[in-house]
Amino acid sequence: MTDAAFEISKATGGAMSDRILNLAQLEALYDEPSRNSLVKVARHITPEYGAWIGAARFCVLSTVGPDGTDGSPRGDEDPVVHIQDPQTLLMPDWRGNNRLDSLRNIVEDGRVSLMFMVPGNSNVVRVNGDAHLSVSAAHLARFERNGQYPRSLVVISVSEVYSQCARAILRSGLWQGQAAPDLPSMGDILQAQTAAEAEQSARIDSATYEKDWQARVTKSMW
């Protein structure tokens, strides 16, 4: 037990709760943040952060709405967002599964967070801000791919941008190139999820799904 945890335990009569109930208890467990972790925060896209974001072809978009939260992977063969100006990012919404979880959330509540990752680099860059959806023809035309256009754009107004400590990626060995573990495929998951369907036609066969997947994704990438 840490000294801080011990003090909390004493304050609760020796029986420490397994749930932190207030900020004072939380902050008692941790040291003060270092100066570096505070001064790295910028209120707009600086040239240095812009270089990072411009090199990222993958990010995670986090949103919140009345039905809960959502974390959505976003990727592109070019930079995953376009830096319109130091305060604005544009993210094309390419074809997906049409659940629209993130987009529904943005319509209801514009608060967003993005985490940009660059393969081989142990740091990540995070952006917080507010977003709205746009169908501006001029903006959509910027992202044309083989005659295809995104259905909409996520327009992000940046409130803060900062780098994240490398420890998480170093701990995980994310870029060390290990062979992928033998995990259930998406077909396996869908087969298990539909196994109890009464109608045979509603059940998904894993082998058939995986066989057809590559052709489907090739036709619907953009």
pLDDT in tens, 46-98: 999 999 999 999 999 999 999 999 999 999 999 999 999 999 999 999 988 89
Which is more confidently placed, 87 or 164? 87
Q: What is the pLDDT of residue 132?
A: 98
- Give the pairing type, strands 124-134 and 152-164: antiparallel
Q: How do residues 20-54 score in pLDDT, each as one tens digit?
A: 999 999 999 999 998 988 999 999 999 999 999 99
Q: How confident is the model at residue 222 (pLDDT cuts 50, 70, 90)?
A: confident
| For range 157-165, the mean pLDDT | 95
**Total-model pTM:** 0.84
Tell me how far CA of residue 154 lies from CA of 39, 48, 70, 102, 216, in angstroms: 28, 23, 15, 10, 25
Tell me how far CA of residue 175 lies from CA of 119, 120, 130, 137, in angstroms: 7, 5, 31, 38
Burial annotation 170-201 (CB, 10 A radius, 16+ → b, else e): eeeeeeeeeeeeeeeeebeebbeeeeeeeeee
Could you give the dihedral angle defined by the CA atoms of residues 173, 35, 162 and 131, in that order, rounded to the nearest 10 degrees? 130
Which is more confidently placed, 3 or 174? 174
* d(C-alpha 188, C-alpha 162), whole Å: 39
Q: What is the pLDDT of residue 183?
A: 85
Q: Which residues contact 189 (CB under 8 A, 6 or more apart)?
A: none
Least confident of 101-110, 126-135, 139-148: 139-148
Give the burial class of 4: count Cβ atoms within 10 A of its Cβ; 0-12 exposed, 13-18 middle, 19 or more buried: middle
| Number of Cβ atoms within 10 Å of the Cβ of 28 | 16
Which is more confidently placed, 137 or 12? 137
Q: What is the pLDDT of residue 186?
A: 87
Domains in the chain, CATH or no CATH each: 3-31 (no CATH), 47-172 (2.30.110.10), 186-219 (no CATH)
Q: What is the pLDDT of residue 10?
A: 60
Least confident of 91-95, 174-178, 193-197: 174-178
Within the chain, strands assigned E span 58-65, 68-75, 82-85, 88-93, 111-117, 124-134, 152-164
Instruction: Assess whether pLDDT exceeds 80 at residue 11.
Output: no
| Number of Cβ atoms within 10 Å of the Cβ of 5 | 13
Pull the structure tokens for residue 146: 């083989």
Instruction: Assess whether pLDDT exceeds 70 at residue 16.
Output: no
